[in-house]
Chains A and B, each alone.
Chain A
Amino acid sequence: MKLKSILTTIILFSGLTYAQDLTGLEVIQNVYNRPTGNDMTGNLIMTIENSRGNQRVRKIKQYVKTVKGGEKKIMFFLSPADVKNTSFMTWSYDEKGKSDDQWIYLPALKKVKRISSDSKGDYFMGSDFTYDDLGDRHPSDDNHTILREEVIDGKEIIVIESVPKDEEYMYSRTVTWVIKDSWIGLKKEFYDEDDELLKILTVEGQKSFGDVIILTKVKMNNVQRNQFTIMEFSDVQIDTGIPNNKFTERMMKRGI
Chain B
Amino acid sequence: MKNQTLKFSLIMLIGANLFAQNLDINGYVRSYMGVLTNDNYDYSINQNTLDLKLKRTDDNVSFFANPFIYQYPNQDAHLGLREAYMDVYFDNMDLRIGKQQIIWGKADGMFITDIVSPKDLGEFLLRDFDEIRTGITSLKANYYLGDNTVEMVWIPTFTPTIMPDETSIWSRIPEFPLPITIDESQKEIPARLENSEGFIKFSGMSSLLDYEIMAGTMWDDDPTLHVSPIIELGNPQPLGLMLTPKHHQLTLAGGSFSSELGGFIFRGEGAYYMGKQFSALNPDQMNLPTSLLEKDYVHYLIGTDFSIGTTRFSTQFIQRAILDYDDMIVQEELDNTMTFLANRTFLQETLTLQLFGYVGLNNEDALIRPSLTYDVADGFEILAGANIFIQNDESETTGLFGHYDDNDMVYLKVKYSF
Contacts and interface: CB of A to CB of B under 8 A. Distances in A.
Interface stretch (A104-112, A159-167, A187-195, A234-242): A104-112
Contacts of A125: 349
Interface string A122-142: 110111000000000000000
Given A116-B264, A116-B305, A126 B348 contact: yes
Interface string A73-114: 000000111101000000101000001010100001111111
Contact of B348 (A81, A119, A227): A227
A33 interface: no
A147 interface: no
Given A248-B205, A249-B205, A114 B265 contact: yes
B210 interface: yes
A117 interface: yes
B142 interface: yes
Interface string B193-213: 000000000010101001000
A223 interface: no
Contacts of A56: 348, 350, 377-378
Interface size class of A (residues with CB under 8 A): 35 or more
A121 B311 CA distance: 12
A19 interface: no
A114 B258 contact: yes
Contacts of B144: 245, 248, 250
B94 interface: yes
Interface string A187-219: 000000000000000000000000000000000
Interface size class of B (residues with CB under 8 A): 35 or more
A78 B264 CA distance: 29
A99 B106 CA distance: 21
Interface centre among B28, B345, B348, B379, by most A CB within 10 Å? B348
A9 interface: no
A115 B265 contact: yes
Contacts of B265: 114-116
Nearest to B100: A110
B201 to A, nearest CB: 12
A114 B259 contact: yes
Contacts of A109: 103, 129-130
Given A110-B101, A119-B310, A99 B350 contact: no
A166 B263 CA distance: 18
A118 B265 CA distance: 10
Interface string B294-324: 0000000000011100100000000000000
A93 B207 CA distance: 10
Contact of A250 (B101, B106, B149, B306): B149
Given A50-B348, A110-B103, A122-B310, A81 B147 contact: no
Given A114-B210, A248-B205, A81 B350 contact: no
B408 interface: no
A3 B348 CA distance: 16
A109 B105 CA distance: 11
A114 B304 CA distance: 11
Interface of B: 26, 28, 89, 94, 101, 103, 106, 128-130, 142, 144, 147, 149, 203, 205, 207, 210, 258-260, 262-265, 305-307, 310, 345, 347-350, 377-379, 381, 415, 417-418
5 contacts: A80-B417, A81-B379, A114-B265, A115-B265, A126-B349
Given A56-B377, A80-B417, A116-B305, 18 more contacts: A56-B378, A81-B28, A81-B417, A82-B28, A82-B381, A82-B415, A84-B417, A93-B207, A101-B207, A103-B210, A108-B129, A109-B103, A110-B103, A110-B130, A113-B258, A115-B265, A117-B260, A248-B147
Of all A-B residue pairs in the complex, the 10 with the closest CB atoms, nearest first, are A126-B349, A118-B263, A80-B378, A81-B417, A126-B348, A82-B417, A110-B103, A81-B379, A80-B379, A114-B258
